[in-house]
Amino acid sequence: MGKIAKLLHDFNEFVMFKHTIFSLPFIFVAMVVAANGWFGWRLFILGIIAAASARNFAMGVNRYLDRDIDRLNPRTATRPSVDGRIKEEWQLAFIILNAIVFVATAYMINWLAFALSIPILLVLGGYSYFKRFSELAHLILGLSLGLAPIAGVVAVEAKITLWSVFLALGVMFWVAGFDLLYSLQDMEFDKKMGLYSIPSRYGHTCTLFLAKLFHALTILFWFFFVIEAHLGFFAYLAVIVSAVMLWYEHRIVAKDFSKIDRAFFTVNGYLGIVFFVLIVLDIWLE
């Protein structure tokens, strides 16, 4: 039992499972809005499985493909994917297993979810390649999580609505913005390795400006989402609170780059939860 517990712990560290919290609230925001309330236990369970397996696949691919880079970076050299705790063949098996679970879950949801499952996996797996040749990698990562609300509305309605596109664009720029801030930690390392992160190519001043621009677009698109979905007071409050939290995030980072982890994990983690709770309140009290 001790070996199994250790292996589970290592795989949890391998994919940082707790960070699923970034995408999960926005899947359920879309599902709640699409259903105008509770969407049923079946979709709730399938939604969790789909979200977890998709993120596990994405993180697994990222860790597996980045082994050569992560070994050389002091910040990432102790990851299970490079320090020998998880063998390469186990990493590949984990990736394949989660891909199968995701596609199978999509099949059980509806025909459109199944049809989109393979293209979604291709997008999720593409991030690691992009950062080797394009600064657009930050937006590809944002798109990966931005697909979450699209998946949510597809699960409930078997179609893609305009409001879900606005919600997804907001998530895309939200994630891309905080990924820019997070990438400041590896700015010098990325320069040395010739990676195409925006901090390594254009410096921290440009990075901070683009992160602010991306987060301004986040708030704009979330306002469009609230308007197009015909939501009410608490939904507008969700967007306003999100704006305040993002402002606080930038304030933390601008003062001290050593607090990037706090801004990245704490503020953004709470943002998704608060947004979800306020949207649920809006639907419930309508």
Q: Is 245 helix (H, G, I), strand (E, B) or coil?
A: helix
Cα gap 168→152, rounded to integer Å: 10
Give the residue among 129, 125, 132 at the shortest CA–CA distance from 197: 132
Name the pTM for this structure.
Answer: 0.91
Structure tokens at 229: 């979905």
How many domains are there within the chain?
A: 1
Looking at residue 3, its pLDDT comes to 67
Cα gap 220→217, rounded to integer Å: 5
Cα gap 167→238, rounded to integer Å: 12
Looking at residue 261, its pLDDT comes to 65
The CATH number for 257's domain is: 1.10.357.140
pLDDT digits (tens, 9 = 90+) for 143-195: 989 999 999 999 999 999 999 999 999 999 999 998 898 888 878 877 877 77
Q: Residue 243 has what DSSP assignment?
A: H
Structure tokens at 126: 């593409």
Range of the domain at 30: 2-284
**In the chain, which stretches have pLDDT less than 70?**
1-4, 7-10, 12-22, 255-265
Q: How many CA atoms lie within 13 A of 19 on its CB side?
A: 15
Q: Backbone dihedral region of 84: left (phi > 0), alpha (psi from -120 to 50 degrees) or beta?
A: left
Residue found by looking up tokens 């980072």 in the block: 253
Cα gap 94→112, rounded to integer Å: 25
Looking at residue 136, its pLDDT comes to 83
Looking at residue 23, its pLDDT comes to 72
Looking at residue 241, its pLDDT comes to 97
